[in-house]
Structure 1
Amino acid sequence: MNPTQENRFRNKINWYVFLMSLLVVLIHSVNLAIDNTTLSSMILTADHTGAELAGITGVAGHVEHLLSNALGQMAVPGFFLISGYLFFRTLHGFRDIGRKWQERVWSLLVPYGAWNVLWYLAYVLTGRRHFSLTAMSEAAANHSCNPTFWYMYQLMLLTLLAPLLYLLLRNAFVMLLSLLLLATAIGAGATLPLVNADALIYYGVGALFACHGRGLFEGAAADARLLRKAMPGKVKGEAEIVVLPVAANARQRRSSMERGCRIAGIGLLLLAWLLQILTPAKLMSFVFYDGSGIARMSMPAYLMSGGALARWIGKCLQQLPLFVLSLSGSGPQALVAIVRRLLLVLGVWFVLPGDRLPEAKPYMKNSFFLYAVHYPIARAQYYMIQYLGIPYDGWGEAVRLALYLLTPVVAVAAAYGLKRVLKRYLPLQWKILSGGR
């Protein structure tokens, strides 16, 4: 890959990870409920039973639910997908795994421990924990005071599985079959020790693309492939004659490939949207209640649930009672959620126009640090609103929604400002906390 293609790919990575980071902030910024899980339960209760919940059933509640739950839940799967891709993208043998592990010690293990210790000390200073070296060591290892770093913990475990994954990845069919078997086990209710099975699927799909679908994932295979075909055995003078037309043809093919990927991405997003019909609440409204549940839904809920198309799918599912009943278990529902999130993260990646994205701004290249510091910023907004007594309905609903949408802006600005201060005055501390990023 030439430098131009590499820069384009890295720029797309920056955009993608930044978008996922914004969604993480929005997950923790909800202010119409104590957290996004509670908000989701309240929204679904209101939409599918006809209950009136002031400040929840309106536009603000549905916007927060859409961004923090329907879309927000793809944020961390997106991180796992990209992490798996980047780890195996330049892996050419088992020797490279040792080199990659050494790099991840600095970029994963060191900041993981440092942030966990900082959070533990914050708990001690606020009187929520008693200080001891043993407790601090435990907090550094198990992120008990820094719950958002469960992602880092899982990513380190997945990194340790690299030798096993690389064995499977040597054959695309074997890796794909392994992922399908894992998905089947999840559907049957099985779990894995230590490692989250869904995280392994997202990470494994990224690794599969890195080893066997790099041209499709990056949309840049046409350039090198055409040049190799057009220039075998050419001497220097002959090669110079064919470079320009072949390069132009490669650019045209790459552009065509990226247009096709964007169309496919839209299709994946549409399919993920329709998979909502297989969640318990949607099945109750669109299948079991035979339309009576739909009548109680608000218009925003109806449209977000798939509208007329979902209603038609519901009628079709009424003819398959055994299939619908089999979806009610925790295992099948976990599998539905995984598939839907995987479709979302792949859909967003392919929809992003890598050939036309502007250069990512410096604050957009600060996603890890933003992830590390966003939580207290997001929750401070909620407690400030509660302290001020802003109502849930009327004018208060509009204010809460505005503050919700403003929180990512505040978090990005605060993280970038803190980054600049640390880099200038405490460069070593910055290097540790950012993992050298």
Structure 2
Amino acid sequence: MVTGSGERRFHDQISWLMFLFSIFVIWVHSYNVDLFSGGARDVIWSLADRIENFVSVGLGQIAVPGFFLLSSYLFFRNFSWEKLTGKWKSRVFSVLIPYVVWNIIYYLGYMAASRFLAIRSVVGRDIIPFSVQEIWRAVSQYAYAPIFWYLYQLIFLIIVSPLIYALVKNRVTGLFWIVGLVFAVHLHLDMRHPNTDALLYYSVAAYFAVHRRGLVERSMEEEAAGWKEDHGTKEKKAAPEDKDGNTASVIPDYVRRRCFAEGLAGVVISVFCYRRMMAPEAAVLWTCFYRMAVPMTCWAFACGVRLPKIRPWMRQSMFLYAIHFIVVRFVNKGTAAVTRSLAGTTTAAGISLVVYFLLPAIAVIVSYILAKFLVRFLPGVWRVLSGGRKLEG
């Protein structure tokens, strides 16, 4: 079990990867070649399209599977039947309530914006009616905030978590369950509540949390212990921390080498799966394998390096996830409108790429400014919108 400094390192690493995956999600929704090209199809625009597609699809699409893996691991880590009610209760506040509130906010925002001709083209909707039925559609079908399909799926996964735990609690039964899900994905035996691929990601992480926690967290155990025996006994001393609370400097070299080797193996597997995924008429299973391999590879590398201290602006994962789409849409469409006279030119291609790669930073800055405002002046609203998350560690 990870204790002391190792426990802190574990949660900091979770926060780091959550932030990294949030950046990837922003890039998924930042594609803008169609807005700046003016229909041009020459070489420069083909290159811009390939660059943005690689980042948005090749990297961006691993973000949500990464969220599923981390969310599941956190849910089933230290899990027991006695803890189920408490875990469900905490997820009501951290997942369900923010999901409902944000979907209503998006609906009200779109409804209001659709009534102003000047910004109707930006939101891309005709006049939206105000009714109880439309509110229900907004919440039950995430009709005005498609980005919340992830939370929608996560809610169903949390609901069926007792069944998942019952299946993976036994090593052999758990392996059969995961193999069965692999075949279900391969044979396109799709479900909606939850999706089969989401159930696969969630179940794999649950299995690791229940049976292979030592493998996932062993570098943190070694780091926290410092591998120093106390006066000839087998009891290990806690590793010293620096002024930022980091202990990675005392990870033994062989642990770093092992993590690096595991990361390199993950890169090889990820590249192999990516090449198979991009082949014509590729089986969907390669996509699932790729989207699991990359987050696991990120975890392996992170275990063997000294991660910088987590900053408050990196802890706003739920709020950033919820608000980034609005920021991305307005920046992309606003910049395209301002530079309309350059549409289709080489200059416009450069602008589109610069905007594309800057959008994560812009979204983080805007989100953090709003988050700080809410924390200071409307803390109750912040708790609801963020799912009870704190900016400070």
- Give 1:244 deviation, angstroms: 7.5
Check the 8 A contact 2:226/2:236 in 1, yes or no: no
Residue 122 (str. 1) matches residue 72 (str. 2): no
Change (3 A) 1:392 1:349: farther
Check the 8 A contact 2:260/2:301 in 1, yes or no: yes
Letter of the aligned partner of 1:56 in structure 2? W
Change (3 A) 1:410 1:52: closer
Number of the residue aligned with 2:142: 143
Change (3 A) 1:122 1:98: same
Number of the residue aligned with 1:155: 154
C-alpha offsets along residues 133-159 of structure 1, whole Å, 9 cap, x if unaligned?
232133223211111000001000000
In 2, the alpha carbon distance for the partners of 1:130 and 1:245 equals 65
Number of the residue aligned with 1:178: 177
Letter of the aligned partner of 1:57 in structure 2? S
Aligned positions of 1:28-427 closer than 5 A: 28-33=29-34, 53-58=42-47, 60-91=48-79, 93-127=80-114, 128-218=127-217, 219-222=219-222, 242=233, 256-279=254-277, 282-283=279-280, 328=281, 333-353=283-303, 356-387=306-337, 388-389=339-340, 390-427=342-379
- Give 1:341 deviation, angstroms: 1.0
Number of the residue aligned with 1:323: none
Check the 8 A contact 1:32/1:56 in 2, yes or no: yes
Check the 8 A contact 2:62/2:291 in 1, yes or no: yes
Is the deviation greater in 408-417 or in 183-192?
Answer: 183-192
Check the 8 A contact 1:106/1:435 in 2, yes or no: yes
Letter of the aligned partner of 1:174 in structure 2? T
- Give 1:94 deviation, angstroms: 1.4
Change (3 A) 1:89 1:392: farther
Letter of the aligned partner of 2:71 in structure 1? S
C-alpha offsets along residues 376-429 of structure 1, whole Å, 9 cap, x if unaligned?
111112212331214344222222111111111110000110001011111111
In 1, the alpha carbon distance for the partners of 2:336 and 2:237 equals 63
- Give 1:345 deviation, angstroms: 1.3
Number of the residue aligned with 1:7: 8
Check the 8 A contact 1:29/1:381 in 2, yes or no: no
Change (3 A) 1:31 1:160: same
Check the 8 A contact 1:8/1:354 in 2, yes or no: no
Instruction: State the secondary structure of the residue aligned to 1:191.
Output: coil
Instruction: State the secondary structure of the residue aligned to 2:33.
Output: coil
In 2, the alpha carbon distance for the partners of 1:276 and 1:170 equals 31
Instruction: State the secondary structure of the residue aligned to 1:358.
Output: coil
Check the 8 A contact 1:80/1:202 in 2, yes or no: yes
- Give 1:192 deviation, angstroms: 2.0
In 1, the alpha carbon distance for the partners of 2:302 and 2:224 equals 22
Change (3 A) 1:245 1:79: closer
How many equivalent pairs are there?
A: 363
Letter of the aligned partner of 1:202 in structure 2? Y
Change (3 A) 1:276 1:244: closer
- Give 1:77 deviation, angstroms: 0.5
In 2, the alpha carbon distance for the partners of 1:392 and 1:408 equals 24
In 1, the alpha carbon distance for the partners of 2:142 and 2:276 equals 34
Check the 8 A contact 1:17/1:79 in 2, yes or no: yes
Letter of the aligned partner of 1:420 in structure 2? K
Larger Rg: 1
Check the 8 A contact 1:202/1:342 in 2, yes or no: yes
Check the 8 A contact 2:26/2:324 in 1, yes or no: yes
C-alpha offsets along residues 221-265 of structure 1, whole Å, 9 cap, x if unaligned?
4479999xx8xxxxxxxx7763787668xx978653443133212
Please identify which structure carries the higher helix content.
1
Q: Which runs of 5+ in 1 are unaligned?
A: 36-41, 43-50, 231-238, 284-327
In 2, the alpha carbon distance for the partners of 1:242 and 1:118 equals 59
In 2, the alpha carbon distance for the partners of 1:350 and 1:162 equals 26
Per the normalisation by structure 1, the TM-score is 0.76
Per the normalisation by structure 2, the TM-score is 0.85
C-alpha offsets along residues 48-82 of structure 1, whole Å, 9 cap, x if unaligned?
xxx96443322x33321221111111010000000
Change (3 A) 1:75 1:282: same
Is the deviation greater in 375-384 or in 388-397?
Answer: 388-397
Check the 8 A contact 2:169/2:207 in 1, yes or no: no
- Give 1:338 deviation, angstroms: 0.4
Instruction: State the secondary structure of the residue aligned to 2:13.
Output: helix
Check the 8 A contact 2:15/2:310 in 1, yes or no: yes
Instruction: State the secondary structure of the residue aligned to 2:194.
Output: coil
- Give 1:90 deviation, angstroms: 2.3
In 2, the alpha carbon distance for the partners of 1:343 and 1:132 equals 44
In 1, the alpha carbon distance for the partners of 2:348 and 2:56 equals 20
C-alpha offsets along residues 271-295 of structure 1, whole Å, 9 cap, x if unaligned?
221223324x645xxxxxxxxxxxx
In 2, the alpha carbon distance for the partners of 1:255 and 1:134 equals 61
In 1, the alpha carbon distance for the partners of 2:24 and 2:363 equals 12
Letter of the aligned partner of 2:82 in structure 1? R
Check the 8 A contact 1:107/1:434 in 2, yes or no: yes
C-alpha offsets along residues 332-372 of structure 1, whole Å, 9 cap, x if unaligned?
62111101111111111111245511111110111111000
